[in-house]
């Protein structure tokens, strides 16, 4: 896609596509998400989108300047899905934990899109709402502004980092994913205690634990550290 777009007043397509569908930005983003899930990064072409929408590919330009513009919209949609129906409870730790798990789950539901979008900064509606919500939780809890920003930064980077890491594992072809899981049982569990005493001592635990995401535990560790920081500055446990 090239860097051009139809002016805002002219964007909405008045006539249905060949399939009787009226195009909207939301429909294009939903279709892009579906195609990315099926084809990965190769899905983001106007030709493939046009075919899936039953529309002339150039119609996409009415809504998005370029493929990168569309990708940012996809990234923002994932953020929006993570926030959907979330409401603060007043317990800052429980609220942050819920947000983190929602972010992780939203990206795991679309692993191919997560690989493309987890590292992007959109500056769009859903992302701005998420930044506002997280900072609001932290500042209401009593974190001074500098601490609130630093905890926000660590929290978001941890959430998105794990989302991308776990998405990459989910996006592996099934034989490769099965082979990776088997390594812990086939290789690590058989290492000699004489040369690898710590691995041998924990082999059964490793085999079990490494099959699931480390994110929930890592999130709790981060929240423990954040709570310690809050106590150090004299903040309150709950908002």
Distances (CA, A) of 138 to 52, 158, 217: 43, 16, 20
What residues contact residue 89 under an 8 Å CB cut-off, 6+ apart? 95
Residue with tokens 């908002």: 239
Domain check: are 92 and 15 in the same one?
no
Tokens of 71: 């990708």
- pLDDT on residue 192: 96
| Tens digit of each residue's pLDDT (9 = 90 or more) over 3-34 | 444 444 444 545 555 556 788 999 999 999 99
What's the CATH number where 28 sits?
1.10.10.60
- pLDDT on residue 9: 47
| Tally of domains in the chain | 2
- Cα 2 from Cα 144, distance rounded (Å): 44
SS3 content of the chain, % helix, strand, coil (to 5): 70, 0, 30
Count CB neighbours of 193 within 10 A: 11
- pLDDT on residue 239: 40
- pLDDT on residue 17: 59
- pLDDT on residue 3: 44
- pLDDT on residue 81: 95
Count CB neighbours of 178 within 10 A: 10
Residue 71: inside a domain? no
Residue 133: inside a domain? yes
pTM here is: 0.85
Distances (CA, A) of 160 to 173, 174, 209: 22, 23, 21
Q: How far apart are the first and last CA of the chain?
A: 47
Residue 82: inside a domain? no
Domain check: are 61 and 107 in the same one?
no
- pLDDT on residue 20: 61
Mean pLDDT of 123-148: 97
Q: Print the domain residue range for 36.
A: 8-65
Distances (CA, A) of 128 to 50, 78, 82, 113, 139: 30, 13, 13, 20, 16
Residue 117: inside a domain? yes
Cα 24 to the center of its chain, rounded Å: 23
Q: Does 69 or 236 have the greater pLDDT score? A: 69
Q: Is the pLDDT of residue 125 over 50?
A: yes
Domain check: are 221 and 117 in the same one?
yes
Does an H or E element contain 231, and which?
Answer: helix 215-232
Q: Are 23 and 62 in contact (CB under 8 A)?
A: yes
Domain check: are 193 and 102 in the same one?
yes
Residue with tokens 């005493």: 197
| Tens digit of each residue's pLDDT (9 = 90 or more) over 74-107 | 999 999 999 999 999 999 999 999 999 999 999 9
Residue 81: inside a domain? no
Count CB neighbours of 183 within 10 A: 12
Asked which of 34, 65, 96 is the last residue of a domain, the reply is: 65
């Amino acid at each position: 896609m090239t860097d051009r777009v139809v002016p805002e007043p002219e964007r909405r397509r008045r006539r249905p596509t060949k399939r009787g569908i009226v195009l909207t930005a939301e429909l294009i983003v939903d279709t892009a998400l579906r195609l990315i899930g099926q084809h990965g990064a190769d899905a983001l072409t106007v030709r493939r989108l046009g075919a899936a929408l039953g529309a002339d590919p150039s119609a996409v330009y009415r809504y998005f300047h370029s493929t990168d513009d569309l990708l940012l919209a996809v990234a923002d949609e994932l953020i929006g899905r993570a926030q959907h129906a979330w409401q603060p409870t007043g317990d800052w730790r429980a609220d942050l934990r819920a947000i983190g798990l929602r972010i992780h789950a939203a990206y795991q539901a679309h692993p191919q899109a997560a690989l493309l979008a987890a590292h992007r900064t959109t500056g769009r509606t859903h992302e701005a709402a998420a930044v506002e919500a997280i900072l609001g939780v932290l500042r209401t809890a009593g974190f001074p502004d500098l601490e609130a920003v630093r905890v926000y930064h660590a929290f978001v980077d941890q959430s998105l980092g794990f989302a991308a890491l776990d998405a990459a594992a989910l996006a592996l072809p099934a034989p490769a994913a099965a082979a990776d899981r088997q390594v812990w049982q086939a290789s690590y569990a058989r290492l000699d205690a004489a040369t690898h005493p710590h691995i041998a001592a924990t082999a059964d635990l490793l085999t079990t634990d490494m099959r699931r995401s480390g994110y929930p535990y890592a999130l709790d560790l981060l929240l423990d550290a954040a709570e310690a920081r809050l106590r150090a500055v004299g903040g309150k446990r709950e908002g």
